[in-house]
């Protein structure tokens, strides 16, 4: 095997220090390098270096996540979450890339962020601080759902460009949950219907889903409630990933599939679709595959 390319600058230490995103069919990689977020094109040519704000000087980027639907990038500086969105360049693009990223919002939290993931096509953020899981939602989605969140038949919501000088947060925390243990793995399904969590050396994976009704359990100001189903494995989980699906495929034809890995084996869980919109009839079908 020959060296393809050597890139200057070392990534920060951690499991969440790089992420691949897509904008208008163009893939890019966002990397946490020191106090900066460095963006590379699909050919690994440097496109942009995002420097932190003055209040974050000296703080290393701990987590970075890029959205595969909208091209948004989120980066964490200890307890501060900064969101960057792509805009068209006014001049010729760098290395043939016609987009650049600007900061559109920031979320100051009480505790340092350990993990962060985009969900629901860039309209939700899963944030993990220690053993507490937070779900942040864009105000555009809240307005579209009229804050009632009666259904979860989500779709793409077009966002309007805001003036660059506005830095008012457009995100609200709509749900929080204290977990039994700090999660080691966390990932959202491509359509944002489900997300999964798993702890260190844990044989159980939690598949979370939004309930249609809170059933008297109020764990957020908006009345949003999530339940979960366990998927049990014979060995500690080493990682998992949701199967990728086409962005514009109808949800009536989608069956979510999560691939869960442990030593020498691959375990996959098929999660029922939401055609009936009845969360009381959620089901999980399991099968075990063994790698040769």
Nearest-5° Cα angle at 99, 93 to 102: 125
**Four-residue CA torsion sign, 271, 246, 170, 60:** positive
CB contact set of 65 (below 8 Å; sequence gap of 6+): 16, 19, 30, 73, 74, 116, 117, 118
With a cut of 70, say whether residue 149 has pLDDT above it. no
Q: What is the DSSP letter of 66?
A: E
Residue 84's pLDDT band, with cuts at 50, 70 and 90, is very high
On average, the pLDDT of the chain sits at 80
Of the candidates 93, 86, 89, 151, the one whose C-alpha atom is nearest the C-alpha of residue 122 is 86
Tokens 């939690």 belong to 206
- How far apart CA 140 and CA 123 sit, in angstroms, is 8
Which tens digit of pLDDT belongs to each residue from 124-145? 999 999 999 999 999 888 788 7
Residue 285's pLDDT band, with cuts at 50, 70 and 90, is low
Which H or E run includes 143? Answer: helix 139-144
SS3 130: coil
Residue-level pLDDT at 94? 63
Spans of all domains in the chain: 7-127
Of the candidates 85, 179, 175, the one whose C-alpha atom is nearest the C-alpha of residue 125 is 175
With a cut of 60, say whether residue 150 has pLDDT above it. no
With a cut of 50, say whether residue 108 has pLDDT above it. yes
CATH code for the domain defined by 7-127: 2.130.10.10
Tell me if the pTM is above 0.95: no
Which H or E run includes 140? Answer: helix 139-144
- How far apart CA 125 and CA 225 sit, in angstroms, is 16
Residue-level pLDDT at 215? 54
- How far apart CA 56 and CA 77 sit, in angstroms, is 7
Residue-level pLDDT at 279? 42
SS3 100: strand
Which tens digit of pLDDT belongs to each residue from 240-275? 999 887 767 766 677 888 888 887 777 777 675 543
**Percentage with pLDDT > 70 across the chain:** 73
């Amino acid at each position: 095997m020959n060296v393809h390319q050597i890139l200057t600058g070392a990534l920060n230490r951690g499991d969440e220090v790089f992420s691949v995103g897509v904008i208008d069919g163009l893939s890019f990689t966002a990397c946490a390098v020191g106090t900066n977020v460095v963006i590379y094109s699909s050919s690994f040519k440097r496109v942009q270096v995002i420097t932190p704000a003055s209040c974050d000087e000296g703080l290393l980027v701990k987590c970075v996540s890029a959205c595969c639907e909208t091209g948004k990038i989120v980066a964490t500086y200890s307890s501060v979450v900064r969101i960057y969105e792509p805009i068209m360049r006014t001049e010729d693009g760098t290395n043939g890339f016609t987009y650049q990223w600007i900061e559109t919002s920031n979320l100051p939290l009480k505790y340092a962020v350990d993990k962060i993931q985009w969900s629901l096509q860039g309209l939700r953020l899963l944030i993990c601080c220690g053993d507490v899981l937070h779900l942040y939602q864009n105000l555009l989605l809240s307005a579209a759902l009229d804050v009632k969140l009666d259904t979860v038949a989500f779709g793409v919501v077009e966002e309007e460009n805001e003036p660059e000088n506005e830095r008012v947060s457009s995100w609200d925390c709509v749900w929080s949950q204290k977990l039994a243990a700090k999660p080691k793995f966390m990932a959202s399904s491509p359509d944002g219907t489900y997300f999964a969590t798993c702890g260190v050396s844990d044989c159980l994976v939690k598949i979370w889903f939004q309930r249609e009704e809170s059933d008297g359990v109020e764990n957020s100001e908006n009345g949003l409630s999530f339940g979960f189903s366990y998927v049990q494995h014979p060995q500690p989980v080493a990682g998992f990933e949701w199967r990728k699906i086409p962005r514009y495929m109808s949800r009536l034809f989608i069956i979510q599939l999560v691939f869960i890995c442990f030593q020498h084996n691959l375990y996959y869980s098929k999660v029922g679709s939401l055609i009936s919109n009845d969360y009381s009839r959620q089901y999980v079908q399991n099968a075990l595959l063994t790698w040769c």
